[in-house]
Structure 1
Amino acid sequence: MGTATGRAFDAETLRRGIEGNTGNTLLSLYADDAEIRIVDHNHQPSEPTVLRGRGQIAELLDDIYSRDMTHKLEQCVVRGDHAAFSESCQYGDGTRVIAESMVTLRDGKITNQLLIQAWDE
């Protein structure tokens, strides 16, 4: 478990990043050594997608923000060295996606994220 420090996680930057047109603002919230585990219909809990480092995270964000879709931060709760947030997304064809994340923070940056997502099929 990490330790809370003087630098706080910026939930407003999270909102701007999620709701923006590129992944650049969102990427700024991740530590260089961050790791994301993604669980969904295609990647079950026993074999999640795992991204390590800002380079792999940037590739994911570039892919997501190149799609015809909108993103909205629904809720964010920050407590010490952890945060949880919910986002909703919608593709241009109406397909909806819901994502829930729990993150661990160090010096106001995300170091670990568990992202669970579901979408219309």
Structure 2
Amino acid sequence: MGTAAGSAFDTETLRRAIEGNTGNTLLSLYTDDAEVRIIDHDSQPSHPKVLHGRSEIAEMLDDVYSRDMTHKLDGCVVQGDRAAFSESCEYADGVRVLAESMITLRDGKIAEQIMIQAWDE
């Protein structure tokens, strides 16, 4: 686990944000103009779902954190202005989700994120 040199971004902050009960803390880790690209079964690599800015990211996080599920940060590596992390989630009915993210940091906040996720069907 690590901390980006000269920034406020670290894995414990990310862990608390991901494992929290709302997406508010996680949202605070993004820049105002952040971009998130999501690749999964529904949004293939050639046509990813793209979220622009904190308001669109907030909508996604509100949806995700309104569900009856748990979230866990499995690991994170921070090096300079880049980080990668793994997150696992589980719905109350046992369905599991795994997400891998690569992020670019600006001034200690997430400016870009590419997330690849898969879930039980």
Number of the residue aligned with 2:7: 7
Note if contact 1:5-1:107 (Cα within 8 Å) is conserved in structure 2: no
CA distance in 1, matches of 2:93, 2:80: 39
CA distance in 2, matches of 1:55, 1:8: 22
> Identity of aligned pairs, percent?
75
Q: Number of matched residues?
A: 118
Describe the superposition over 1:9-59 as per-residue Cα deviations: whole angstroms up to 9, x where unpaired.
222111001101000110110000000000000100000000000000000
Describe the superposition over 1:54-108 as per-residue Cα deviations: whole angstroms up to 9, x where unpaired.
0000000000000000000000000000000000000011000000000000110
CA distance in 2, matches of 1:62, 1:89: 15
Structure 1 unmatched ranges of 5 or more: none
Number of the residue aligned with 2:107: 107
Note if contact 2:83-2:102 (Cα within 8 Å) is conserved in structure 1: yes
Answering whether residue 46 of structure 2 is matched by residue 53 of structure 1, we say: no
Q: Give the TM-score of the pair, scaled to structure 2.
A: 0.94
**Structure 2 SS opposite 1:105:** strand
Q: Give the TM-score of the pair, scaled to structure 1.
A: 0.94
Structure 2 unmatched ranges of 5 or more: none
CA distance in 2, matches of 1:31, 1:65: 20
CA distance in 1, matches of 2:78, 2:16: 16
RMSD (CA atoms): 1.1
Note if contact 1:5-1:106 (Cα within 8 Å) is conserved in structure 2: no
Answering whether residue 63 of structure 2 is matched by residue 63 of structure 1, we say: yes
